[in-house]
Structure 1
Amino acid sequence: MSDSWRKPRPDGKLPRMKKTPLTVGLLLCLSLPAWAQPAPLDLSKVPQEGKAEQDFVPAGWKIDATTKGDLDKNGKEDVVLELVEEDPKKATGGEFTERSRALVALLSEDGGKLRRAGASNKVLYCTTCQGTLGTGLGGVTRIEKGVLIVDQMSGSREMVHTVLRFRYDPKERKFVFIGEDVEHADRGAGTSTVESTNLLTGAKVTEQREYNPKTDKNTVISSKKSKVAVRKRYLEDADISTYY
């Protein structure tokens, strides 16, 4: 078994991930010519209002998964749609299986109407961008105490696990990006680095973890607190490709 895990450097910075076939594949996916990449959803084609969930699905797309809950704390059930392209794109030399995915958050209004409150064509992985840990299917969002959570994993032995949190701001009428947990792990070595950041306060905790076979759990072997610069960010600013 190759030793692809490297400990953090003395300056505290994280080491670069070793270029295994998986990571090379991800990098190649990002560097493909524009014609070879799945086109993102044109958000201008997603209506601002509608009566049913299907009203927010542009032609050539379909609903992959739905999550329901109260996002604006008004007692009504809101809905988050995970959309995916219907068919793979075709090009000279073969047929691509990569399909783009997008997220649309809808709030329930009076009179049974739905209003688009947030949308992103960058926060979800494409259908083939997750490696062996991703199936390319939907079902990565959940709602807890009014917070929209996008939970995704990618990779194989070298895994990246991201948990991104968004909360609706009624004054701004947008979803604010409030926090992120990012784990880089070597599942073969049983080691990982987890960075948890409160994007509202700038408080950040970095933990080094190691798998303990006796307890069958990951044990924290070191923890460090730090601060990051605070700047207002929204759902539309989140980009899953920055976490590879």
Structure 2
Amino acid sequence: MDYPVVAERAGDAEGFVPAGWRLEQRHAGDLDGDGRDDLVLLLKMDDPGNRIPNEALGPPVFDTNPRMLVAAFAERPGGYRRVLADHALIPRPYSPTLDDFLSENGGVGIVDGALRIGLHLWASAGTWSTSRSGFTFRWREGCFRLVGHDHRHLHRGSGAVQETSANYLTRRAWRAEGSIEDDAMEKTWLRLPAQPLRCLEDIGDGFAFDPGVPPTDP
């Protein structure tokens, strides 16, 4: 689909909402270190044609309207300047049996000056797998760069758990495998290869992202 152009500048959050879209979430916090509150907005398309009647598993109406993630920096003497408009990281809904990708442990927010995105994958039918992925971005050299990634996968049938965590600033990561019955899983620490920090716009679909954590030795 064709996504609308988001305004380059606006006086408030609503000024960044294109026609036919709505403001779903608004978060304020200092993202560029200048002491002023910036904006992170979650926009959602509001097209009735994208709400599909569903007589199978899942809700009676399946809302396939896509989302956009927008960030804008506060300017002097007022207003905001858009620095991000992305519609890929948070995927468009594609199955009525899946929970909202931003429900449970997912979501959008600003934490300690960083942009945090959490994605949750849980299906009521079709798969035993469930997962959550967390992305941490910091504003550096003209874009929000990925500095951290966490992932947890659970097989609801067997109870097997796999977890990874990567810090792209320190180039350290760990893997752990076990079961939901384990009180704690042993972590295997790994070294990440040297590579440039990736911009949010280069990540693409958050569920398809490869964090680059190397496998443990056999």
User: Is TM-score (shorter-chain normalized) higher than 0.5?
Assistant: yes
Taking the aligned partners of 1:103 and 1:126, their CA distance within structure 2 comes to 12
Taking the aligned partners of 1:130 and 1:193, their CA distance within structure 2 comes to 26
The residue identity in structure 2 corresponding to 1:102 is M
TM-score, normalised via structure 2 length: 0.77
Taking the aligned partners of 2:164 and 2:103, their CA distance within structure 1 comes to 26
Taking the aligned partners of 1:127 and 1:84, their CA distance within structure 2 comes to 12
Where do 1:116-135 residues align within 5 Å? 116-128=82-94, 131-134=97-100
Shift of 1:136: 6.6
Mean alpha-carbon deviation: is it higher for 130-139 or for 179-188? 130-139
Change (3 A) 1:145 1:123: same
Shift of 1:129: 5.5
The residue identity in structure 2 corresponding to 1:236 is E
Equivalent residue, structure 1, for 2:120: 153
Structure 2 residue matching 1:220: 3-state secondary structure: coil
Paired residue for 1:237, among 202, 205, 213?
A: 202
Paired residue for 2:162, among 188, 193, 198?
A: 193
Taking the aligned partners of 2:144 and 2:180, their CA distance within structure 1 comes to 36
Equivalent residue, structure 2, for 1:59: 19
Shift of 1:50: 1.0
Taking the aligned partners of 1:130 and 1:68, their CA distance within structure 2 comes to 32
1:193-242 deviation per Cα after TM superposition (whole angstroms, max 9, x unaligned): 11212233432211113223xxxx75214524242452331011122241
Unaligned runs of 5+ in 1: 1-38
Taking the aligned partners of 1:129 and 1:67, their CA distance within structure 2 comes to 28
Matched, 1:183 2:158: no
Shift of 1:114: 0.5
Shift of 1:167: 0.3
The residue identity in structure 2 corresponding to 1:167 is R
Taking the aligned partners of 1:136 and 1:104, their CA distance within structure 2 comes to 16
Taking the aligned partners of 1:175 and 1:65, their CA distance within structure 2 comes to 19
Paired residue for 2:71, among 105, 110, 116?
A: 105
TM-score, normalised via structure 1 length: 0.70
Q: Is the 8 A contact 1:142 1:148 kept in 2?
A: yes
Equivalent residue, structure 2, for 1:143: 110
Structure number having the greater helix percentage: 1
Unaligned runs of 5+ in 2: 55-60, 211-218
Shift of 1:155: 2.4
Shift of 1:102: 0.9
Change (3 A) 1:130 1:136: farther
Alpha-carbon RMSD: 3.0
Equivalent residue, structure 1, for 2:184: 219
Taking the aligned partners of 2:160 and 2:2, their CA distance within structure 1 comes to 34
